[in-house]
Amino acid sequence: MTVTDRLTPQDPRNQYPKPPFPQQPQPAPGEVARIQPVPDHGEHSYTGSGKLTGRRALITGGDSGIGRAAAIAYAREGADVAISYLEAEQRDADEVAELIRAEGRTAVLLPGDLTSESWCREMVERTVVGLGGLDILVINAARQQFRENVEEISSEDFDRTMKTNLYAMHWIAQAATPHLQPGASVITTSSVQAYDPSDILLDYATTKAGIVAYTKALSKQLMKKGVRANVVAPGPFWTVLQPSGGQPQEKVEQFGSQTPFERPGQPVEIAPVYVLLASQEGSYITGEVYGVTGGAGIA
């Protein structure tokens, strides 16, 4: 999709590819180049308007999916951006860094494992040094690996999902808070799974519900220093998370077909919400959950 296409009113049902999609298994954490059809993260379709000029952002999971779309949008809105990712995702991260720098903005690359408390804290400090401060914190990286029944979820599985999705959020928020000045923004990524959990995503859905509660409580603390905190709750979005173990391949084939749109969302379609919540235009928004679910809604 082009910039012109995104600015012209269209039937949203037909704006992007619909299933069936090909089965396409790949090992976690997944690689953007291997997913078909190629997701639209805004590489050729997002146009900025200076809403984040001079801001400094840290985005976890910024190499692919929703995090990648947010990173591209932030750079095109005028922000310098640091992205965290796993070392196996280096090629995707390099592509995002190139797109950030093409906008004349600073890109800081932070490869590491978020299940390590020491790395989470070091990552924040490297961001502050590399960007000269921190104004926007997007906690987005997540682990999602389906299991058909509760007996298949090992303690190792459960522990890694909890550490990636919940513990890391706490460690990062705790390390970042002293650096956040009035006007700063924290944005976490939950899911429709927090409200309507799938039976095969028991541990993942549990963490996504926890993210909502944590962020709502955090927002009450942070407002005492003039910092806002909000949650984005996506529905089915077409990202590498899905074919790399997030869903069974038969569900990948029909991914998003259950929505009124009859298709999954593309990452660029949710990026403007992350921009709003980070920008001065969202100055009276805190402690909220923004659902972008393709019509499923959140309770």
Q: Name the residues annotated as catalytic.
A: 204
C-alpha distance from residue 53 to each of 49, 102, 103, 131 (Å): 9, 15, 12, 13
- Residue among 141, 130, 220 at smallest CA distance from 179: 130
- Residue among 191, 218, 266, 282 at smallest CA distance from 38: 266
β-pair partners for 84: 60, 110
Q: How far apart are the C-alpha atoms of 20 and 31, rounded to whole Å?
A: 20
Q: How far apart are the C-alpha atoms of 84 and 62, rounded to whole Å?
A: 6
Q: Nearest 5°: CA angle at 245, between 273 and 161?
A: 70
Q: How far apart are the C-alpha atoms of 284 and 257, rounded to whole Å?
A: 35
